[in-house]
Amino acid sequence: MIGKTLGNRYEIVEKIGSGGMSFVYKARCGLLNRYVAVKILRPEFTSDESFVKKFRQESQAAASLSHQNIVSIYDVGVDEEIYYIVMEYVEGKTLKQLIREKGRMNPHQAAEIAQQICKALVHAHNNHIVHRDIKPHNILVTRDGTAKVTDFGIARAVTSSTVANTGSVIGSVHYFSPEQARGGYTDEKSDLYSLGIVLYEMVTGRVPFEGESPISIALKHIQETVTPPAELIDGIPAGLEQIIMKAIQKDPSSRYETAEQMLGDIRAFIRDNDIIFEGSGFDEETSPTIVMPAVGNDSEVSNNRNNKNPNKAVKKAAKRKNTYIIAAIILIALIAIGYGGSILIRELLFVDVVVVPDIEGKTQEEAEEELKSFGLKMEIRERKNNPDFAAGIIISQHPKGGTENKTSNPVLVVLSLGPEKTEVPYLLNKESAEALAELQRARLTDGHIQARPSETVPVGVVMDQSPKPGIMVDEGTSVDLVISSGPEIQQIPVPPVVGLDLQTAKTRIQNAGMILADTYPQESDIVPEGYVIRQSIPPNTMVEEGASIGLWVSTGKKIVQPPSEGTKVLTINLPEGSKDVKVTVKKYQDGVEEIEYQMRHDADEGPLKVPVSGKGEARVVVLFDDVEQWSETITFGGEE
């Protein structure tokens, strides 16, 4: 395949990988002059027409995805029975290679990568695309730490006829969800299960289930319980383990409902590695419900039951004492209820009503202080990211400002967590258009773009960026770029050559590093013949080396000829079949109009010959029935 060109556009340069379903090559796009990755399907898949049709449909659907954590699909095509996908070329390693090199990753690094994978799944799921083959082999990690998910649409295209192919199953079975292993219905939650297994492998260095065959591993996904990561590796944070164990629940209904939910917990863990999650879905696996035995033991209970002669006096005294205590408590309670009840009734029936101030756009402290001055309290109903409000600012309130509210009712607010953070992508050595598209995918904006000459970086390629790659910034942050304008062009001053003879002027122009373009003859009563009258670029103007210049050269004095006199004969044809047409010939000379001829004629009289006399040049106009037919300028005294 090396050297072959697919689709008259993609020249195969080298082989960079292979998988159960395809071979991957690095190729050069002849149209856009950039490197791309070309994935070519193995022949055993291209023989299945139903698979090929499904493959093209799903790949084209996946091509609509545009996200910084998804490898972009540029093109899908076929060339001489070779089915291929053209994708973004990513320089880096697969996540599987990184896990093998490191053994395992530290929890924070693993969570950072999982967060990026989860962002990709959120984008895909929102576009109704399920990956179905999330595994470390399908995650590319760039040099700057950006994770990119690949093979969207390919796994979805696998049908029953292709699952039998051993290569496509063995590579993924370690990450299959139980419903995939059973061959049942799969949806977005299947991707979350696979992501949980990937995260498990990142922090432990191993997959949860191993076996002698793909079938045995698949059965373990269905039947066996996963050993919690903390039992294998010391120091696994409890919060991260909770995320993993919830994602890999065998029952899909016990997993995260959406990728957004899982992403939210991963982000919470990244912000606070000591977090412990509470609520539904986190306690079942790590803290199962158990039945506790009664305090004491069976022998003590038996002895008490068999003791038929207890001390009756002691029992009566204790009973009497308890009666007094209970009576005292009841009496105190009644008094308290009577007093407190009156206060409560008064509070409920006579609550102050105030006009709620507008606190939207204010800080939490400012809002609480202002509400306090009105006798109101603030209650935070929700905290969420918002690109338009800084962290700690009130986004909205209920009731709204200007409406009435009882002082006993709190004002509910939504508090901003500030813009969502995003990672600045690596833009160096990318073409400017590609860099701007990358910024858009990262939800960032282009800032100041500066052109700077370079002897090494090609024209239009990014030389520098600010902020630097890998920094976490707010969404919408502007990124400044420095774009190469190519080698610096030498500027030279234009020499003055007016008043020089043409040969001397030409020599001076060439010695200055310029090119003499065209020369234009011009009559002059002052400048002698053969000398330069003027130049196209003014002297001392700074121009690029090798620029062209034009010169106007004198031809000497103009020879004035006296005007000549004479007569010209005009031939006039009347329209065919016309009768009684008034033919008029007018002459315009030196601003004077003269009628040279006027008479009526029929067309059958043949062409008319009308003489016109004059001196020098004149304009002659021919009219039929006072309507101009044509005109021309004639010179008298020449040959007719």
Q: Are 479 and 446 in contact (CB under 8 A)?
A: yes
Residues 147-187 pLDDT 10s: 999 887 554 544 333 333 333 333 378 998 998 888 767 78
Q: Coil, helix or strand for 418? A: coil
Range 102-125 average pLDDT:
94
Q: How far is it, in rounded angstroms, from Cα 421 to Cα 424? A: 10
Cis status, amide bond into 495, omega within 30 of 0: no
Alpha-carbon 523 to chain mean position: 64
Token pair for 129? 């695309």
Task: Give the pLDDT score at 33.
Answer: 86
Tokens 């306090």 locate to 372
Q: Coil, helix or strand for 398? A: strand
Task: Give the pLDDT score at 562.
Answer: 62
Token pair for 467? 């902020």
Q: Residue 186: what are its φ and ψ, rounded to 5°?
A: -120, 145
- For residue 301, pLDDT over 60 is answered with no
CB burial readout 390-412, b (16+ within 10 A) else e: eebbbbbbeeeeeeebeeeebbe
Hey, which residues does 479 pair with through a beta bridge? Answer: 446
Q: What is the DSSP string of 99-139?
A: HHHHSS--HHHHHHHHHHHHHHHHHHHHTT---S---GGGE
Q: Are 50 and 30 in contact (CB under 8 A)?
A: no
Task: Give the pLDDT score at 289.
Answer: 23
Q: Residue 429: what are its φ and ψ, rounded to 5°?
A: 70, 15
In whole angstroms, how far apart are CA 303 and each of 110, 293, 316?
Answer: 58, 18, 21
First to last CA, the chain: 78
Range 127-134 average pLDDT:
88
Tokens 């330069």 locate to 532
Residues 534-569 pLDDT 10s: 999 999 999 988 899 999 999 988 765 665 678 888
Residue 492 burial by Cβ neighbours in a 10 Å radius (0-12, 13-18, 19+): middle
Task: Give the pLDDT score at 563.
Answer: 59
Alpha-carbon 525 to chain mean position: 68
Token pair for 372? 């306090």
Task: Give the pLDDT score at 337.
Answer: 59
Q: How far is it, in rounded angstroms, from Cα 575 to Cα 392? A: 91
CA 536-540-545 angle, 5° bins: 75
Alpha helices in 307-354 (DSSP H): 312-349
Range scoring the smallest mean pLDDT among 153-162, 336-345, 507-516, 631-640: 153-162
Tokens 């957004």 locate to 260
Q: What residue ranges define each of the domains in the chain, with the CATH number in brackets?
A: 5-88 (3.30.200.20), 93-286 (1.10.510.10), 359-416 (3.30.10.20), 421-484 (3.30.10.20), 491-554 (3.30.10.20), 565-635 (2.60.40.1930)
Q: Are 479 and 447 in contact (CB under 8 A)?
A: yes
Q: Coil, helix or strand for 302? A: helix
Task: State the helix-helix crossing angle for 238-247 and 107-126, rounded to 10 degrees.
Answer: 40
Q: How far is it, in rounded angstroms, from Cα 354 to Cα 63? A: 57
Name the more confident of 4 and 308: 4
Residue 284: its H or E element: helix 283-286
Q: Are 36 and 30 in contact (CB under 8 A)?
A: no
In whole angstroms, how far apart are CA 69 and each of 137, 309, 387?
Answer: 15, 79, 21
Task: State the helix-helix crossing angle for 238-247 and 188-204, rounded to 10 degrees.
Answer: 140
Q: How far is it, in rounded angstroms, from Cα 500 to Cα 512? A: 15
Task: Give the pLDDT score at 319.
Answer: 55
Q: What percent of the chain has pLDDT over 70?
A: 82
Q: Coil, helix or strand for 456? A: coil
- Examine the residue annotation and report whether 590 is marked as an active-site residue of this protein: no
Token pair for 362? 């204010």
- For residue 285, pLDDT over 50 is answered with no
Q: Are 597 and 621 in contact (CB under 8 A)?
A: no
Cα torsion for 157, 158, 159, 162, to the nearest 10°? 140
Task: Give the pLDDT score at 335.
Answer: 61
In whole angstroms, how far apart are CA 467 and each of 37, 92, 400, 439, 444?
Answer: 28, 22, 40, 12, 11
Task: Give the pLDDT score at 328.
Answer: 64
* Closest alpha carbon to 484 in 502, 498, 464, 470: 464
Strands 82-88 and 34-41: antiparallel
Question: Which candidate in 133, 151, 191, 265 is catalytic?
Answer: 133
Phi-psi group of 8: left, alpha or beta (phi > 0 → left; psi -120 to 50 → alpha; rest → beta): left
Residues ≥6 apart with Cβ < 8 Å to 228: 241, 245, 285, 286
